[in-house]
A = this chain, B = another copy of it.
């Protein structure tokens, strides 16, 4: 069927679920056709996580979307959400498929799934699984975009396991990150497939931020911290499967593992990017479990050229499994993510600037951080040339609470918050992590909060804390004016 014919199956007001996770494995032709015809308005758009501009941007610019779940990272979509034009619910990525399967009130009319192959009993996704297994299972109709740009030999890399719905939910029998426990395809009865659209359109290539001296320093701090944990017997020499977010800091951290001489580690994560693929090729990782392989053009070529080698070492799972608390807790993950800001109590903001303006969303960071054996939040201590401190008195939005955060790292050093009281955490964060330029005013804030008398368990002074953001609004910087 042509993309335009297939797009005709989608009508105004429908809930449409599309494949894709971290800019890979998303349909391109049906969204383009939807934008061209404009016949379907007011759509609810669900994806696994972030998708490329060819889907998200195209549909956002055409004004087709009125409601969006569970994550996005697109400038146009972000603007529409922050203008109040698109209603957005920012959800834990493990919860999206669960909430759909549990029948909590969101019904999928049409699923559009990019596939590398259509088998008799099901669909083989391309370079991400995301929540496509749940979408296919819960949708009334499925549109397949069969993409010949992806080698058919990717068949066998996916591992699709359906947990089932309570009271019939099953144990997820993953004991080691590389365990294959399911089928190499998403089960789909042929009668559910309403259209197959042929495509040879490649994904947009993700943008990889360049590293920086600060990111390298953060990588070095984390490496030394992990070595010390092993030395003290608090971690095994194999560390534990690594989960890593994306971005310059995340890449620097991964590369530090190689510099530290680690070998034979495992990765259990939601996205495998260039840095992780390189570590797999170099033997630093012996296996990678992920829900998406999101690569630069150069790395993608190596990946496609050696699919059989990678198939032995890399498994693509549904995000419901990669991010599942059961597996994350059992495997003993080391979760590494990048916050926007961290406050003196140890609360982490991962989603909002100045409290109200969404950036992307919480993604999988909550799934991983909450259930990991060890969680690390790593960021540069300042942003925007020093005018913003990433260590603040009180975060403007809480995504990870003081009960959940363990290790905070900046280029300045490491704060190990485990077993610490709020006051101890505040001191560690100021002296070990904050930029020296901000330490005096953070110390002053803490002293003032202790005196404020609202309660000494968590010393805080909300009015003074908000002054930090008010100064940004008025003068562009959190720095207090010098006398």
**Which residues of chain A have a CB within 8 Å of any CB of chain B?**
67, 69, 81-84, 87-92, 95, 98-99, 102-106, 163, 165-167, 169-171, 173, 175-176, 232-234, 236, 238, 240, 324-326, 329-332, 347, 352-358, 362, 366, 370-371, 373-374, 396-404, 416, 418-421, 423-424, 449-450, 452, 454-460, 462-463, 466, 469-470, 473
Contacts and interface: CB of A to CB of B under 8 A. Distances in A.
Given A84-B456, A356-B449, A462-B469, 15 more contacts: A87-B420, A89-B421, A98-B329, A99-B418, A102-B332, A105-B232, A105-B418, A166-B236, A166-B373, A167-B332, A171-B173, A171-B175, A347-B398, A355-B455, A463-B466
A324 B240 CA distance: 19
A50 to B, nearest CB: 16
Contacts of A456: 82-84, 356
Contacts of A238: 167
A240 B398 contact: no
A322 to B, nearest CB: 14
A357 B456 CA distance: 7
Contact of A105 (B87, B171, B399, B419): B419
Given A89-B419, A169-B332, A332-B165, A458 B356 contact: yes
B169 A330 contact: yes
A88 B457 contact: yes
B88 A421 contact: yes
- Among A91, A173, A374, which residue has the most Cβ atoms of chain B within 10 A? A91
Nearest to A69: B419
A329 B87 CA distance: 28
B332 A326 contact: no
A234 B103 contact: yes
Contact of A91 (B82, B169, B370, B403): B403
Contacts of A103: 233-234
Contacts of A165: 332
B399 A401 contact: yes
Given A355-B455, A457-B352, A106 B332 contact: no
A90 B304 CA distance: 49
A402 B450 CA distance: 28
Contacts of A329: 98, 169, 324-326
Contact of A357 (B91, B95, B396, B454): B454
A353 B460 CA distance: 12
Contacts of A462: 355, 396, 462, 466, 469
B166 A240 contact: yes
B458 A403 contact: no
Given A352-B457, A421-B88, A456-B82, A371 B171 contact: no
Contacts of A418: 99, 104-105
Contacts of A357: 454-455, 457
A328 B83 CA distance: 38
A95 B459 CA distance: 24
A368 to B, nearest CB: 12
A289 B352 CA distance: 40
A90 B423 CA distance: 13
Contacts of A332: 102, 165-167, 169
Contacts of A167: 176, 236, 238, 240, 331-332
Nearest to A406: B104
A122 to B, nearest CB: 25
Nearest to A332: B166
Contacts of A82: 455-457
Given A236-B167, A330-B166, A358-B457, A419 B104 contact: yes
A137 B450 CA distance: 39
